[in-house]
Structure 1
């Protein structure tokens, strides 16, 4: 079954001269969809972008991490593993070629997962292996995605 997805991107970087010169425009845009908050974006700060705004790399990493999290929570629920907290701080390695072309080489998820006492931590850890085959975003990227989960027992977190 196919699904169709939509988004709206509007360039906001016309500083008055459009793209007349390389430095005459900003690399900024908004992601705007009806009924959702606008996300103001810029290009990567390494390329002169605004570090206070989301960039495509941030968005891709966040999407992949969120997809993994949502599938993990589903699989945990189905397996009887009760998760009461989940936070991830993914890291990625990228490269930029002399031509300016870039790409991600790899991404590692670092989820910290809080579970109830008496949780089977081996099962909780193994569930991560079951996510990649079903995660829409992870299945769509062409770089390796690995994970290094940490588990906290809820009584320790209090």
Structure 2
């Protein structure tokens, strides 16, 4: 078993707070030293109380799914002997009421575009197989109740 940690920090900075007019800007700190500026989503709390330039939890959720899928895909492609030149995923998450009527990330669609190099390149079926294997192995996708979709495309 492994544990993963993050420290989330926020300070009031002299704001009144009880009037609900306080900044939602905060920081995520990770054990490797990375500091990520974070905030509530401007879709949830309007600017200036949200910081649109910071990462919000909803974006982070989508990014975590996409990143996990990427890492497994690269591993499987490498094992199969395919030479991946680049991989770009414009992932999208949809926030909507779930079956219980609560707001939830109900669907995440991954749209990875992969460019392979070299003389030997996978056909569409092999490309799909690699993405299916990556999806099945992804720890994050295996951890959430949301539907997680993958719509890969090859880049020539």
* Global fold match (TM > 0.5): yes
Number of residues of Structure 1 aligned to a counterpart in Structure 2:
148
**1:79 aligned residue:** 80
**Cα distance, 1:132 vs. partner?**
2.0
**Cα distance, 1:17 vs. partner?**
4.1
Partner Cα separation in structure 2 for residue 61 and residue 102 of structure 1: 15
Gaps of 5+ in 1: 154-158
Of 5, 17, 20 in structure 2, the residue corresponding to residue 19 of structure 1 is 17
**Cα distance, 1:34 vs. partner?**
5.1
Q: TM-score, normalised by structure 1?
A: 0.85
**1:135 aligned residue:** 138
Gaps of 5+ in 2: none
Alignment of 1:1-158 (within 5 A): 2-12=1-11, 14-17=12-15, 19-23=17-21, 25-33=22-30, 35-47=32-44, 48=46, 49-95=50-96, 101-116=102-117, 117-121=119-123, 122-153=125-156
**Cα distance, 1:66 vs. partner?**
0.5
Q: Note closer, same or farther for the CA distance 1:93–1:4 as it changes in structure 2 (3 Å cut).
A: same
**Cα distance, 1:19 vs. partner?**
3.0
**Cα distance, 1:7 vs. partner?**
1.0
Partner Cα separation in structure 1 for residue 15 and residue 53 of structure 2: 24
* 1:34-85: CA deviation from partner (whole Å, max 9, x where unpaired): 5523211110111222211110011111111000000000011111222111
RMSD between superposed Cα atoms in Å: 2.0
SS in 2 for 1:26: coil
